[in-house]
Each structure stands twice: as structure tokens, then as C-alpha cells.
Amino acid sequence: MYKVAINDKISANRSPDDGELNLLDVQKDGDGAYHIIYRNKTYSVCLLEFNSTEKRITLLINGNKYKVVLEDQYDVLLKSMGMGANASKKLKLLKAPMPGLVLDVLINVGDEVKKGAPLIVLEAMKMENVIKSPGEAKVSSIEVSKGAAVEKNQVLIHFY
């Protein structure tokens, strides 16, 4: 059984053997573009984004944009137990990826950071490495300061 949400609205609970896929005639029409006939209607479909980790697809169908999210029975079960995909992605801390010397701390406690934002400059093996945020979060504490030596996997920043 699968749950399908289109543009954040639950559209249907489907079983993979319900026969609906047999009603599709799909022809590839270029890179990421498809020509589909379904129940005697023609659709021009272009794949805009595909994220297999989040089971999310963004499609342009006859000029209208649709965000499609799929959940299987395991996703639904994990979500009901509070362990869904988003629960595990919450950024809690940042660890040093390698031993080195902190050259600069680019953020402050209380700052809200976006994914990819530079946080710390770490010197390792005579190279400067900018450590970037792996996700969105708010800085609750900074455990290192400029000039500090750090070990691999040492906690640098806590988020909330």
C-alpha cells in the first residue's frame, strides 16, 4: 500500500497491484520529458526534480507544476512512531570532519543558519577548509574558539 500526496494534499492510498499502471501509455519525448496517454487523455509531462531519498518528485504537467510525495507502509509506520524522515534530519550538532586548528568561527550563538552556510574555518594539513552547515538550524552553543586545536569527531557546534 502506498500513500500519494500531490501539492501537500493526500490524493490516494494505492496498492501496487491495483491495475492503474496498465492504463498508461508512456513515450519518452526528450531529456526528462514524456508524452502520456491515460484514460484517453493526453498529457505532456516534464520531470523538474527527483529526490529519491525523500521520495519526492516535481513534475510539470500540461504547464502546471505538481509536487508528488510517495510514502510506503514503512514510511507511514515510522512516521506514526515519531521516527519519520524529517525527524532524523533535524540538525543537532556539528562535528569536526578531521583534526585541525580553528582559524575562524563565522557564526554566533543564536544565529539561524541555512544549509550550506559557512560556519567554521578549519586548518588541516596546511589547507584551509570551510565547514558548512549540512542543514537549517539555530545555533545554541559553540564549543570551540579561534585558535583551538580539535580532534576528528569533536563537537564544534550544538543546534536547536
> pLDDT tens across 78-99, in order?
776 665 555 545 778 999 999 9
pLDDT in tens, 43-90: 999 999 988 878 889 999 999 999 998 888 787 777 766 655 555 457
Both 45 and 69 in one domain: the answer is yes
Both 69 and 123 in one domain: the answer is no
Percentage of residues of the chain with pLDDT beyond 90: 47
Both 16 and 76 in one domain: the answer is yes
Domain span at 118: 93-159
- Choose the final residue of a domain: 88, 122, 141: 88
**Bridge pairing between strands 137-142 and 112-113:** antiparallel
- pLDDT, greater one: 13 or 87: 13
Q: Are 26 and 34 in contact (CB under 8 A)?
A: yes
Q: How confident is the model at residue 155 (pLDDT cuts 50, 70, 90)?
A: very high
The structure's pTM equals 0.47
Q: Is the sign of the CA dihedral 29, 34, 36, 41 positive or negative?
A: negative
pLDDT in tens, 101-140: 999 999 999 999 998 899 999 999 889 999 999 888 999 9
Q: What stretches of 21-159 adopt beta strand conformation (E)? A: 24-30, 33-38, 41-51, 56-61, 64-72, 93-95, 100-105, 112-113, 118-124, 127-132, 137-142, 149-150, 155-159
pLDDT confidence of residue 40: 86
**Mean pLDDT throughout 1-20?**
66
Amino acid at position 11, single letter: S
Both 24 and 79 in one domain: the answer is yes
pLDDT confidence of residue 83: 58
Q: Which long-range contacts does 63-67 make (Cβ < 8 Å, 24+ apart)? A: 66/6, 66/7, 67/6, 67/7, 67/8
- Choose the final residue of a domain: 70, 88, 106: 88
Closest CA relative to residue 144, chosen from 134, 129, 154: 154
Number of independent structural domains in the chain = 2
Both 9 and 79 in one domain: the answer is yes
